[in-house]
Chain A
Amino acid sequence: MTSTESLIDRRQMAYIAAQASDARVNVELETEGMTLNIGPQHPATHGTLRIIARLDGEQVVWAEPSCGYMHRGYEKLTEVRTYPQVTALINRIDWLGSFANEVPFILAAEKLMGIEAPPRAQHIRTILFELSRIANVSLFLGDLGVQLGAITPVFMAFRDREYVLNLIEGATGGRFHPNFDRIGGLKDDLPAGFVDETRAVMKKLRNFCDEIENLLFGNEIFQSRTRGIGVIPKDVALQYGLSGANLRASGVDWDLRRDQSLPMAWNKADWKVWTHPDGDSFARCWVRLQEVRESTRIVDQLLESIPSGPIMAKVPRIIKVPEGEAWVSTENPLGEMGYYVVSKGDLGPFRTKIRSASFNNISIVPWVLKGVYVPDIITILASLYFILGDIDR
């Protein structure tokens, strides 16, 4: 550069510098190393989850969820409650499929007491469990569209989910928080007409699954947004304790309904466990879709063969669970949910460790979000599927 050119350059630079110092806008233009806060109030996250992401342009360099906005201290609360009161409390951990939350706890308490619910109660427990799975996962299917920009499936999901919630309300009295399970059985018997109603609703749910498959899963944009995004290999998934559909989508043949011998009625129906080898977001979504269909088939089969008999075993009025420790976990809609109940022969548990599925599912987020684009954060979170109450307890 000659000296005149460099002089002009310097004058230009000085001018620009003077302008910039006058600028009242204080925003960093560099998008390198920009820290983006997603949440806690945000349309995408199912609740108050906050993700702190450090971006380089549109790519994530580092991401970390910050949970605890909804921490209610369940494990401390169970120490001052009696067993029936705890049942009312734990409904609210996974509030979309809430009957499923009570079941492992009740089974653990029954294991410690050495009693088993009568066959009719076991059967109906299983039916309600599967209904809560259908209610939970059908909302997932609708919500999946919204996260990706397709705003129509969510309305169909809510419409068809209403039928299932009406069924649960008819049987238990509560749409979202049934609080129906009791140590030794169930609170009440099924209402009249439940079996026929449920059969009709299961048909509707199967139609809904077909609709969603056509509308959303077959769409090329959906495929290109979810295939190959957020691949979680098998051994990483197992290390982090991912469970449920997330694990099955990584190719692990794992279903606690089939692999354990709990006093429930899953072995009375003929059903299939769905896995997918890919481990990407599409696999997780697809596995859940198939699971809903499979659940409707399980319910149909179980409805044929409800045994007659009492709905409640003979248990004392005031339940004191003998001393001991028990662990029961079940295949909840979100994954593996388990309760480790320590009892000292009291009216309530001494210590309950609540192992919730979403806590483990979301702990993999820092690992899986490295190097993805910002829109993919939403896709991956949507496919991992969590409920805040489940993460934060």
Chain B
Amino acid sequence: MSSDAPVAEIPGDLLREGIIDRLRSHLGDALLDSLVKPGDDVWVRVRSDAWRETARVLRHEMGFDYFCFLSAIDWMPSPFGKGEDDPTEPAPERDDTIRQGYAGGDSRLQMLARVTSSAQHVGVNVKCDVADDAPVVESWIPVYAGANWHERETHEMFGIGFAGHPDLRNIYLPTEFEGHPLRKDYPLLARMVKPWPGIVDVEPLPGGDDEEGDAE
């Protein structure tokens, strides 16, 4: 099913709908949710225990041979806001409901990976939930060898374990580093150490913020 020429845009995006159909036929009910933006992109969310199976299906059955990236998203809104709080004032009320994005979700942390087909020039964003109490998913290394470094980075930044990873240690941070920086409850230390200078200097933004422009 692979051709080397770039595929023309198909109206209604049969290409991407077709991807979801084939994925569903392989995974069955492990495919929890999906979203297609016609002509743009496709998102799928799979069950956590089918994470590696999804990768295997995508690579070996459906020809998605190019591994783009693997990471995670923390959907909890940051309790520190933008780090612009005035330390002399009480902390403002913040909305802390967790709302996931495209293709839904049930947990605070979600895996996000993207693979592309080099022949058809189309990519798939794959998500899966990561349980809050036991954040472990299967490693993608047996399928995509390049996931090694990406999983190490996700592990050190989010604290997600990868079962089957041969060498899960920190890649950017020193070995003794405590905490998982990209989680939202880990503060941006620069803003903790010194209050954000904009508190004193900020002027109201020019023009007011209800000036809507037309697109074009």
The reply on B214 being an interface residue by CB < 8 A is yes
Chain B, interface SS category: loop
Cβ-defined contact, A392 with B68, below 8 A: no
The answer, yes or no, to whether A190 is at the interface (CB within 8 Å) is: no
* Chain A residues whose C-beta falls within 8 Å of the C-beta of B41 in the assembled complex: 326-327
* A: contact size bracket: 35 or more
Q: Which of A14-22, A45-53, A232-240 contacts B (4 or more CB under 8 A)?
A: A232-240
B69 in contact with A240 (CB, 8 Å): no
CB–CB A236/B145 < 8 A: yes
Q: Do A240 and B118 contact each other (CB < 8 Å), given the known contacts A76-B188, A342-B101?
A: no
Query: Taking CB as reference atom, which chain A residue is nearest B184?
Result: A79
Contact of B144 with A239 in the complex, beta carbons under 8 Å = yes
- Residues on the B chain within 8 Å of A235, using CB: 65
Q: Which of A313-360 contact B (CB under 8 A)?
A: 313-318, 320, 323-327, 329, 336, 338, 340, 342, 344, 348, 351, 353, 355, 359-360
- Asked whether any CB of chain A lies closer than 8 Å to the CB of B53, the reply is no
Asked if A363 and B149 sit within 8 Å, CB to CB, the answer is: yes
Residues in B with CB closer than 8 Å to A174 are none
Distance in angstroms between the alpha carbons of A200 and B212 in the assembled complex = 43
Given contacts A111-B40, A367-B145, contact A80 B114 (CB under 8 A): no
B51 at the interface (CB under 8 A from A): no
Contact among A260, A320, A338, A359 for B121, CB-based, below 8 A? A260
Residue pair A116, B215 in contact (C-beta under 8 Å): yes
A67 touches B171 (CB 8 A): yes
Give the contacting residue for A115; candidates B82, B114, B216; CB below 8 A.
B216
Residues on A with beta carbons closer than 8 Å to the beta carbon of B118: 238, 252, 254
Kindly list chain A residues whose C-beta atoms are within 8 Å of the C-beta of B27: none
Complex interface: chain A residues within 8 A of B216 (CB): 115-116, 118, 313-314
Q: Which residues of B contact A115 (CB under 8 A)?
A: 215-216
B209 interface residue (CB < 8 Å to A): yes
Closest to B114 in A: A327
Partner of A68, one of B84, B171, B191: B171
For the complex, give the distance between the alpha carbons of A75 and B154 in Å.
Answer: 12
Q: Does A114 make an interface contact (CB < 8 A)?
A: yes
Give B135 Cβ to nearest chain A Cβ, in Å: 17
- Considering the chains assembled together, what is the distance between the CA atoms of A324 and B41 in angstroms? 12
Q: Which of A342-390 contact B (CB under 8 A)?
A: 342, 344, 348, 351, 353, 355, 359-360, 363-364, 367
A111-B40, A318-B207 given; A324·B83 CB < 8 A: no
Q: How far apart are the CA atoms of A118 and B188 in the complex, in Å?
A: 37
Q: Which of A79, A236, A258 has most chain B Cβ within 10 Å?
A: A79
Residue in B closest to A346 when the chains form the complex, CB atoms: B82
The residue of chain A having its C-beta at the shortest distance from the C-beta of B167 within the complex is A64
B163 within 8 A of A: no
- The answer to whether B54 has its CB under 8 Å from any CB of chain A is no
A367 to chain B, nearest CB (A): 7
Return the 9 tightest CB-CB contacts between A and B, nearest first: A240-B146, A68-B172, A314-B213, A317-B207, A259-B121, A115-B215, A363-B149, A71-B172, A241-B67
Which A residues are within 8 Å of any B CB, using their own CB?
A: 67-68, 71, 73, 75-77, 79-80, 111, 113-116, 118, 235-236, 238-241, 252-254, 258-261, 313-318, 320, 323-327, 329, 336, 338, 340, 342, 344, 348, 351, 353, 355, 359-360, 363-364, 367, 392
Further contacts, 17 of them, CB under 8 A, given A80-B84, A116-B216, A258-B6: A75-B182, A76-B181, A79-B78, A115-B215, A238-B118, A239-B145, A241-B66, A241-B146, A317-B205, A318-B211, A324-B101, A340-B69, A340-B71, A342-B101, A355-B68, A363-B146, A363-B150
19 sample A-B contacts, Cβ–Cβ < 8 Å, listed by A number: A67-B171, A68-B173, A73-B181, A79-B188, A80-B83, A238-B67, A239-B144, A313-B213, A313-B215, A325-B125, A327-B123, A329-B68, A336-B68, A338-B68, A340-B112, A348-B82, A351-B73, A355-B68, A363-B148
